Structure 1
């Protein structure tokens, strides 16, 4: 399969016809960045198409018609995309219906230059296991003409949708999602299953976009950690608690920390929902939380960190070096940031082994896991 607009879109960087070659390229990249480390063979997808469970499209108006698609690489132009080889097909269908209904309801389209217009984007989250679907309509104002009729119309076309939310994003920002949600249908969230556990996913929650590879990654992380039932484990940047709840069955307790309050609410809910009683979640900057643990003389046996693309900030590096847990599992979506952070931690830690996971087939991104041990 080949994508006709790959060069303009910029989302993918490998032709969609030779998956083994793309894996070779990503593994080579990791080995070149970390020439002196013990690197295991990269883990690939068994089906590298239509894997994304989260699909976002932006809207624009070209003076004649409504356009829906992705921002063309390095520009503010919305590139019309009829179909994508890496996004869930049902999610793509729903976003296309949003576009058609937006035209029929005569909703104004947000202009990125003038900052005027109502409709900014459409986001669909699909529970790959549960089959539940959350539709998020991103608008600039809570006053939405005929919103009830819109909900009825799209539900008639797509009865598989389990919840619909209007998200208000009136900020002059590149951020996709705003902070305020108006639930128009259903509960405002969906559930999905991962590693035998059930997770509530809200519009603003972080949830890995490739469910199958996430399971492989998390299983490897806990296998490498080799934690025992007397250990206290910290899950920094825990999100909605996915890896915390999975890890809870192997250790005495898990301390999860996340700066996003909504994600922490979901994590607390998810722990109760799964009847897990040895996880404790805090809404706080991860680095400052680690430093507080040291100040309060909390014994920590292991730490899992899964930061954003920018990697660990100074507070997190200081917290990790101060706590001196026996082992750290570092999960990274940016090997360049990982390299910088490992160098900063090298005064007290050494890398035991590393491994790449192709969480984002056909793109240039690769998830990398590193086991680092206290010297």
Structure 2
């Protein structure tokens, strides 16, 4: 980003988004809003850039989503300070290495509040032993500049890890440190401060709920691990293998004893709960052992499908984390026939955009 951030307009832009949500959900009976603002800069923990080659020159670029115009990016103030430091350091190192820059077309950065960095270099050519040697030199040069970095190389049907393809985040949530393994090319929450706010909010609004928790779309166990303290047992599901593996590690490293992860999609779990299908991936997990009072869903932008909606309204309490207010509104038109909204929070995950993360707690209406 080559232009300054409109930081003096941040509060105005946030207020505008809040007003939009209030209007959008005006047909529902809404409780008072909890609003969680983001830092105005250096809030984004991951970033992806195309690499532009111009003879001996090389630099990061992004594309305007409307005009598709190429924009040179020498600094990126919405990204973490660590990503910005790495962006400055890596360009001259790539320019000086023909092996590293040859057919390099994209760089992905993933950083943590614990100052770990993962860089993925993506190529339009097959990577060989010479590339590996050059990449090791790159890692050493970045390390010498004080950057704790791990490097992954990718090409078509090829992935090379110099040492590891993950970094470990450490989040202070209500004065407790949680460790979360984050794997390259897997989903992680992009705004770490807002993620801390979401997890703290979720813990606080579920303190008085008893029973067991079922979570769909658990990713690396982000919510289920933090919320385990408020429930007798937690069963969480996720379909992506890398995320399931990370979640299993996170359960162990945080010494959580009441959480189990099943590699199932929301649709598959719905079938399993109905007894429609049996899954070998549920071996060792007896669904009958759980007394689920609460379900947490954090679906993709498309929201929840009809079968999953019909399944979740059977629970006393629904925690819904949404990244798309439009599909959330559509889902609420169904859910609010049986449930009422008790808690509503707005998390400014993506400042200076129209996007918002929303958290709701819904309870069954009295019969």
Q: Deviations over 1:186-244 (max 9, x none)?
A: 4322111122211111112322122222111122123223454x511012111111211
Aligned to 2:32: 40
Aligned to 1:49: 41
SS in 1 for 2:32: strand
Aligned to 1:223: 204
- The alignment's C-alpha RMSD in Å is 2.6
Q: What runs of 5+ residues in structure 2 fail to find an aligned partner?
A: 276-286
SS in 2 for 1:87: coil
Q: With the length of structure 1 as denominator, give the TM-score of the two structures.
A: 0.83
Matching of residues 235-274 of structure 1 within 5 Å: 235-274=215-254
Moved more, 36-45 or 119-128: 36-45
* Equivalenced residues, count: 346
d(CA) in 1 for partners of 2:38, 2:237: 33
d(CA) in 2 for partners of 1:318, 1:140: 45
Matched, 1:197 2:178: yes
Say whether the 8 Å CA contact 2:237–2:262 is kept in structure 1. Answer: yes
SS in 1 for 2:90: helix
Matching of residues 18-33 of structure 1 within 5 Å: 18-33=9-24
Matched, 1:183 2:161: yes
Say whether the 8 Å CA contact 2:186–2:243 is kept in structure 1. Answer: yes
Say whether the 8 Å CA contact 1:163–1:188 is kept in structure 2. Answer: no
Say which of 342, 357, 362 aligns to 1:372.
362
SS in 1 for 2:269: helix
The CA deviation at 1:372 is 1.4
Say whether the 8 Å CA contact 1:301–1:325 is kept in structure 2. Answer: yes
Say which of 108, 123, 140 aligns to 1:155.
140
SS in 2 for 1:339: helix
d(CA) in 2 for partners of 1:301, 1:39: 22
Say which of 82, 89, 95 aligns to 1:90.
82
Aligned to 1:176: none
Aligned to 2:281: none
SS in 1 for 2:120: strand
The CA deviation at 1:307 is 1.3
SS in 2 for 1:120: strand
Q: With the length of structure 2 as denominator, give the TM-score of the two structures.
A: 0.85
d(CA) in 2 for partners of 1:86, 1:127: 14
Matching of residues 1-375 of structure 1 within 5 Å: 5=3, 15-35=6-26, 36-45=28-37, 47-61=39-53, 65-74=57-66, 76-106=68-98, 118-128=103-113, 130-144=114-128, 145-159=130-144, 160-170=146-156, 181-184=159-162, 186-194=163-171, 195=173, 196-228=177-209, 231-295=211-275, 299-321=291-313, 324-375=314-365
The CA deviation at 1:329 is 0.7
The CA deviation at 1:21 is 0.9
Task: Sort the Cα spacing of 1:353 and 1:180 in 2 relative to 1 into closer, same or farther, 3 A.
Answer: farther
Say whether the 8 Å CA contact 1:330–1:370 is kept in structure 2. Answer: yes
